[in-house]
Amino acid sequence: MRLVLLGAPGAGKGTQAVFLKERHNLVHISTGDIFRHNLKENTPLGLEAKKYMDSGQLVPDDIVMKMVGTKLAELKPEEGFMLDGFPRTVKQAEFLESITKLDGVILFKVPDEAIVKRLTSRAVCKECGNVTNIHEHSKCPLCGGELYRRDDDNEETIRERLRVFHEQTEALEDFYRSRGLLLEIDATGMPEEVFERVSDELRLL
Ligand code: ADP
Ligand code: ZN
In tens, the pLDDT along 129-188 reads 889 999 999 999 999 999 999 999 999 999 999 999 999 999 999 999 999 999 999 999
Is pLDDT above 90 for 118?
Answer: yes
Across 56-157, the runs of DSSP E, i.e. the strands, are 81-84, 104-109, 122-125, 131-133, 147-148
pLDDT at 205 exceeding the cut of 90? no
Mean pLDDT of 106-119: 96
The torsion angles phi and psi of 113, rounded to 5 degrees, stand at -65, -35
**Average confidence score pLDDT of the chain:** 96
Query: What letter would DSSP give residue 137?
Result: -
Phi, psi of 184 (to 5 degrees): -95, 130
Query: In this structure, which ligand is nearest to the CA of 30?
Result: 1
pTM, to two decimals: 0.93
Other C-beta atoms lying within 10 Å of the C-beta of residue 8: 24
Whether 31 has a pLDDT exceeding 90, the answer reads yes
Ligand nearest to the CA of 123: 2
Q: Using the mean position of ligand 1's atoms as its centre, give its distance from the Cα of residue 166 in Å.
A: 14
Residues assigned a catalytic role = 13, 88, 122, 150, 161
Q: Give yes or no for residue 36 having a pLDDT over 90.
A: yes
108 lines ligand 1 (CB under 6 A): no
- pLDDT number for residue 130: 87
Look at ligand 1, atom 15, and give the residue with the nearest C-alpha.
58
Inter-axis angle of helices 44-53 and 61-74, to 10 degrees? 130
Q: Mutation test of ligand 1: which of 88, 105, 172 has the most ligand atoms closer than 8 Å to its C-beta?
A: 88
What value does the mean pLDDT take over residues 52-70?
97
39 CB within 6 A, ligand 1: no
